[in-house]
Amino acid sequence: MKTEDELKQAVTDKELHIGISFPEDIQKSLMSGKKPQIFVYYSSDLSDEIKEMYTILIGEMINQMSGFKIDIDEIEIVLGPDMGGKQIPYRDRMLPLFAVMLLITETLGLANLITSELEDGTIQALLTTPMKVTDLFVGKGVTGVFLAFSPAVLLMIITGSLSQNVSLIVTSLLLGSIMVTGLAFFIASISKDMMSVIAWGTLLMIVLFIPAFTVIFPGPVSGWIKVIPSFFLVDILHRAVNFDIGWSGNLGNIMFLISFNIVFVFFGIITLKRKVK
């Protein structure tokens, strides 16, 4: 990084988990016997244990580079809300996992409903009436969103999590409901019967649950995990419920979630439409 501000921004944006800033006159300070100040910037989601590990590692690295033990003044700065150092009860950390679990479970319900109706010929019978394919998908889509959205919101109300950032939490759960509805369409399109739905649905649930565990056990998040769309939903809920971070701090996650929703719903409708016809 060319400037310290660029380094801070990279750590804030989580492009880097840690940034180290050495003073320009560090050599003069060492030669004169003064204690140089080294600023260490940490990402907000690093746990205290990992910060301590980095602190020891930085000190040893500087000693190895200089060839002798150096007395330095290391200043640690956490950029953003200290999500790793703040003590949050596991009950509250588990909330995003439970919310996502409820949403994903409804994926199996809608996919199983569509599959059974295809097996019984109910959908084919409906299409012989004036009902159009578009009407069918709108009806199933609204049903799927309602089935996923209502229990998730009910969970938030019961646990008292809607006392802050109400609009953000409700919007994120609604986007999550749309996402799992699109996935339910896709599962129904590749499943032949209820057992196929369970098999594909279980695999999908395991994949979508992975980001939720990164909230329960905080630490550096690997880049590949952001490929899983549920990461953005879990991150929004975790920030909004446990750290009171509003729209401005979650706007990026919201945009990513909307983008994934467009892809999933479009792909799910296209694949299921071919099977219905």
Can you spell out the DSSP letters for 132-179? -HHHHHHHHHHHHHHHHHHHHHHHHHHTTGGGSSHHHHHHHHHHHHHH
Residue 194 confidence (pLDDT): 83
- Average per-residue pLDDT in the chain? 78
pLDDT digits (tens, 9 = 90+) for 23-35: 776 666 666 666 6
pLDDT digits (tens, 9 = 90+) for 125-156: 877 788 788 888 888 889 889 988 999 999 88
Residue 56 burial by Cβ neighbours in a 10 Å radius (0-12, 13-18, 19+):
exposed
Residues of the chain with pLDDT > 90, as a percent, come to 9
Alpha-carbon distances, residue 85 vs 9, 13, 47, 182, 249 (angstroms)? 20, 18, 6, 37, 19
Q: Is the pLDDT of residue 14 over 80?
A: no
Enter the tokens of residue 248.
Answer: 């401005």
Residue 212 confidence (pLDDT): 73
